[in-house]
Structure 1
Amino acid sequence: MKPIESIDDVILILDSIIEESLKTASTQGYFAVLYQKVTVKVKEEIQNNYFDDGPRMEKLDVVFAKRYIDAYFAWKNNEPVTQSWAIAFTETRNSNLLVVQHLLLGMNAHINLDLGIAAAEISKSNNIAELEDDFNRINDILASMVDEVQNGLSSIWPFLRKLLSWLGQADNLLLDFSMKIARNGAWKFAKEIAAVEKVDWPKTITVRDKKVANKTRLITDPGKVIRFLFRVIRWTERGTVADKIEKLRR
């Protein structure tokens, strides 16, 4: 794999992960599709001068993306990854999970752990506050993708939007779990890790990783009622893994 130095490099590598997932019918493609959509949007907004500091945001995007990409290839090569990613990748083999659960597992590891680390990496401990406004703009972009993702999910499960409407969660299923947590928890963690000496980062990351990994139980075992509703959604699921990846990709 060639070095990742730009946002275009990130988009190309994500495309290769998606293509590999299509060939192997791997559910890992679900998160890769979502992430590529977000990355393309970030690139567009950098070009539109949406951020206070476009070059800094491209650097953040690259550092952030590398944590997922490095974890993806490490996992494929049976190398160690964070506990959060280990659970997310392991669960890609679980045929009982819905697409939305796979997406949430990826978001949990990447947003709730990786985003704070990436933000701290591109900031010195005495100026990370300067990043906060652009950090929040990244989260606004993530939130803006929710409707697009849920439209893709609804094409896989026509019953999904109606069911979520009954629950009053049609627009907040992904938003509440990941985007709001990212705006609060990930930023708090970014400041926390930026404030400690680099030699202490591994310990700080391990503590955070354990907390983030524990959140996966809310996704994989959400309780009897939600589990039943997920089962109902599953009954209406359409298409193969590759079909679902393509629908999310549109």
Structure 2
Amino acid sequence: MAAEPVLPAEKVDMVAGLLADRVRQYDAAHDRRAAFAYTYYRLTKTLATALDTGTPAFDDPPWVAELCETLASAYFSAMDSTDAWLAGRSGRAAADAKPRDLPDSVPPPWRDVYAASSVRRSYLLEDVLFSMMAHMSYDLPGALRHMAAITGDRSHIADFQRMNDVLASCVDEVQDDLSARYIRGLSSLDNLFTRSDELLTNYGIRVARGLAWFNCDRLMDPASTEDASRSISTSTAALIAEIRAPDDRKLRAVLWILRRVIPDRRHWPAADAPLG
């Protein structure tokens, strides 16, 4: 007897379930990757609900679900490689790790993210922003390229934009719940150091994902593949440098001092805390 086909909403909900497992794993270990995993989980659950209710009405729901799976697999692969590296260190997180300390099996942007979050004064919103940058600027163009190579079809831009609308519509709520789960006063404390959380806004999500579509086209054009690969591999490091070491020397000095006197007020939820 043939197995029942899995509906697109069910596929995306299964991805959300895998992300929920990561959140619980990272929460239990007090791993700073938890905040982005939680953000990613909430965004994915929102997409699953949109597919289940048919609002908005996607032209090709199976393509939407396949893209969600393909994109998530890139994230899981990077995290698994990081976990394997940590296991070789007897599970110990690396304090003040450098990107070069992580293995080549971890893509460069995710090495940059892990190293940035390993410093003593890494703030929660930074961890989320840097991870979001790696996922949107590096993983997403690669996932779109993979999808195009399999299907030979790049005609899904309308559905891609609908996905952008769905994800962008819930980002403010997700930020509020992220703050409630991991840190009180997130907007006032963390923005002091990032100076902007534009990537985690309705507009920012749309722009970042739109740029990913453009970079996929660049990757698929032989004349621009090399430049595009270099660009998406280094854009996360550039964002980290902009936030951690701004060009303005006075601002850089002020942030250096504040980072040493203001504690990271991150807290960890109870083991049975609902994910939302």
- TM-score range (shorter-chain normalised) is 0.7 to 0.9
Q: 1:186 aligns with which of 212, 223, 241?
A: 212
CA contact (8 A) 1:87 1:213 kept: yes
Structure 2 residue 185 is the aligned partner of structure 1 residue 158 = yes
| 1:188 to partner: Cα distance | 0.7
| 1:62 to partner: Cα distance | 0.2
* Alignment partner, residue 27 of structure 2: 22
Q: TM-score normalised to the size of structure 1?
A: 0.77
Distance 1:162 1:92 in 2: 16
Structure 2 residue 87 is the aligned partner of structure 1 residue 61 = no
Q: Which has the higher contact order (CA 8 A, sep 6+)?
A: 1
Q: 1:76 aligns with which of 83, 101, 124?
A: 83
Map of 1:85-234 to 2, 5 A cutoff? 85-124=110-149, 127-128=153-154, 130-152=155-177, 154-155=179-180, 156-158=183-185, 160=187, 172=198, 174-175=200-201, 178-196=204-222, 205-222=229-246, 225=251, 228=255, 231=258
CA contact (8 A) 1:30 1:102 kept: yes
| 1:35 to partner: Cα distance | 0.3
Identity of aligned residues (%): 22
Distance 1:45 1:10 in 2: 14
Q: How many residues align?
A: 240
Distance 2:207 2:273 in 1: 27
CA contact (8 A) 1:108 1:216 kept: no
| 1:238 to partner: Cα distance | 4.1
SS of the residue aligned with 1:34? helix
Distance 1:139 1:246 in 2: 31
SS of the residue aligned with 1:182? helix
SS of the residue aligned with 1:61? helix
Amino acid at match of 1:75: T
Bigger Rg over Cα? 2
Identify the structure with the greater helix proportion. 1
* Alignment partner, residue 98 of structure 2: none
CA contact (8 A) 1:26 1:92 kept: no
Mark the CA change 1:113 to 1:105 in structure 2 (over 3 Å): closer, same or farther.
same
Distance 1:158 1:88 in 2: 23
RMSD: 3.9
Deviation sequence 1:83-103 (CA, Å, 0-9, x none): 101111222322312111000
Distance 2:232 2:108 in 1: 10
Q: TM-score normalised to the size of structure 2?
A: 0.71
* Alignment partner, residue 37 of structure 1: 42
Mark the CA change 1:97 to 1:145 in structure 2 (over 3 Å): closer, same or farther.
farther
CA contact (8 A) 2:218 2:225 kept: no
Distance 1:163 1:82 in 2: 26
* Alignment partner, residue 93 of structure 2: none
Deviation sequence 1:15-74 (CA, Å, 0-9, x none): 221111111111110110000001111111112232221100000000001100110001
Mark the CA change 1:246 to 1:157 in structure 2 (over 3 Å): closer, same or farther.
farther
| 1:220 to partner: Cα distance | 3.3
Amino acid at match of 1:7: V
SS of the residue aligned with 1:81? coil
